[in-house]
Amino acid sequence: MAGSPPPPPGAVAAAHVSLDPYVERYAARTHGMRASEIRALFAVANRPEVVSLAGGMPFTAALPLDSVGVMVADLLRTAGASALQYTGGQGDPVLREQITQVMALEGITASPDDVVVTVGSQQALDLVSRVFLDPGDVVLAEAPSYVGALGTFSSAQAEVVHVAMDNDGLIPAALQEALDRLAARGRRAKLLYTVPNYHNPAGVSMSEPRRDEVLAIARSAGVLVLEDNPYGLLGFDEEPRRALRARTSDEVLYLGSFSKTISPGLRVGWVLAPHAVREKLVLASEAQVLCPPTFSGAIVSAYLRTQPWLEQVKVFRELYRERRDATLSALAQHFPAGATWTRPTGGFYVWVTLPEGLDSKAMLPRAVHARVAYVPGTGFYADGGGGRHLRLSYCFPEPDRIREGVRRLAAVLSEESELRSVFGPHATAPSGSKDRGRRAQTPAPDLA
C-alpha cells in the first residue's frame, strides 16, 4: 500500500510488523484486538495424548442423548414450522416464563417480561457492555475474573479495575477501597462484574454476609452489579445459594445460562434486567443477531417441560464432584510445598498459586511438552497480573486422566523449581513482557 498513511500507533504495537492491508480502515477498537499468544499452544494441547485441564467444557456425553433425540424429532414433527422460524428479539415468552422458574431456585422473583434470551450468556455480557459502556468507562471485576468477560469489556474499550477476593469471594473492604481510589481520580465505575458462585477461575463462592455488604456498597456508589451465574445449580453438597438479584431488583443485572446445566452448543443464555434496561437490551440484541436461535430455545423449552432436567443436573453434580475430588487428592499427593489451591464446593475450577518464583505462562510450553495443559493465570487479569497462578478445569477429563495430568504437572513444577535453584530466577522468568499491561485478547471458546 505505497503512499498510504501510516497505521495508528496501536496497530504497530499490536502487530509488530503489520502486513494487513486493511489496517488503516479498521475502527479504533480493532487495533487492540488480537489473539492470545497461548492459542497456538492450545492447538497442540488438544492432541489426545495431552491431558487438558485447560478447557471449561461441560461433559455433554453424560446427557441422555437418545431421549433428547426422540424429544427433538417430536418437536419437529409437531411444531417444526414455528420452531424453525424467526422469533421475537426478546425470545419466546414460554421459554422466558420457564427461565423465571429456574431462577426461582435461587430465590429470584421476576417477570418473564424482564428476561431477554441471548446467544449464551456471553452475548448478554456483550449487550450489557453495548448499552452501558463508553470507551474509557470503568468496570470493577474480581481478581482474577472470567476471561470471556474481560474480552468483552476490552472490546468495549472499557477499563477494568480488579478487586481482590479470598476464599469467601469478593472482599467488601477491597471493593470500597477501589471505589474510593476511583473517586479520588474523579472517576466512577459503571458496573461491578461478579461471579458469586463457584467462581471461574477462582473456584470460590461469595459468602452469605458478603453478598449483602457488596450490594450495599455498590448501591451507595451508584454502581450496577452484573451478576454472572452459570454454575449456581452445580453445588456439590449444598442447596443453591441465594442470588444477589434475589436481594434487590433495581441494582442488579443477572446473567444466566443453560450451557452448564443442559448444553453449551445450543447457545441459550439470558439476562434479567430492570424493565427500562431490558428494553434497551432487546433493541441492542436485534441490531446484533435479529433474534436468538429459535430452535435452540424450543429445545431448551421442551427439555425443561418433558425431561427430568433437575435429576440430570444432579447427575452432572455427582460427576463433577467425583472429578473435583480426584483433582484435590492428586494435588495433595503430588504438588510441592509452597503451592496452594482453592477447594471448590461446586462448579468446574481449581485455582492454583505456584511456589514463589515460578511463572505459569513461561512454564506452559514445558507442561504441554510433558503432555498436560492448563490456563495460565495471566488470562484472567486485565492488568498483567496472575503470573504465579494457573487454572485447572476438572469438568471434562475422566478422574484417572485428571490424576495423571496432575502428576505430570507436579513433575514439571519440580523441574522448574530445580532449574531455578541451579540457574537462578532468570531460568524460570517470563519469556517476554509482550503480554503485560492492558490487552484486548479474547479467549478461544473451549478455554473460556
**From candidates 276, 311, 426, 433, binder to a second copy by CB under 8 A:** 276
Q: How far apart are CA 32 and CA 435, in angstroms?
A: 12
Residue 34 interacts with a second copy (CB under 8 A): yes or no: yes
Q: How far apart are CA 186 and CA 195, in angstroms?
A: 27
Give the x-and-dash track for 238-257 against a second copy (CB under 8 A).
Answer: ------------x-------
Please say which residue, 146 or 351, places its beta carbon nearer to a second copy: 146
Residue 286 interacts with a second copy (CB under 8 A): yes or no: yes
Residue 332 interacts with a second copy (CB under 8 A): yes or no: no
CA angle 437, 443, 448 (to 5 degrees): 120
From the list 227-235, 240-248, 294-302, 323-331, the region that binds a second copy by CB under 8 A is 294-302
**From candidates 70, 164, 183, 310, binder to a second copy by CB under 8 A:** 70
Give the DSSP letter of residue 349: E
Q: How far apart are CA 49 and CA 38, in angstroms?
A: 19
Residue 220 interacts with a second copy (CB under 8 A): yes or no: no
Peptide bond into 201 cis (omega under 30): yes
Residue list 87-146, contact with a second copy (CB under 8 A): 87-89, 119-120, 122-123, 126, 130-134, 137
Q: Residue 424: exposed, middle, or buried by beta-carbon count in 10 A (0-12, 13-18, 19+)?
A: exposed
Q: How far apart are CA 398 and CA 351, in angstroms?
A: 19
Contacts of 99 (CB under 8 A, 6+ apart): 112, 115, 117, 256, 270, 272
Residue list 157-196, contact with a second copy (CB under 8 A): 190
Q: How far apart are CA 213 and CA 215, in angstroms?
A: 5
**From candidates 10, 30, 355, 401, binder to a second copy by CB under 8 A:** 30
Residue 227 interacts with a second copy (CB under 8 A): yes or no: no
Please say which residue, 120 or 405, places its beta carbon nearer to a second copy: 120
Residue 19 interacts with a second copy (CB under 8 A): yes or no: yes
Please say which residue, 121 or 205, places its beta carbon nearer to a second copy: 121
From the list 201-209, 263-271, 364-372, 418-426, the region that binds a second copy by CB under 8 A is 263-271
Report the chain's C-alpha Rg in angstroms.
22
> Under rule CB under 8 A, how many of the chain's residues touch a second copy?
92
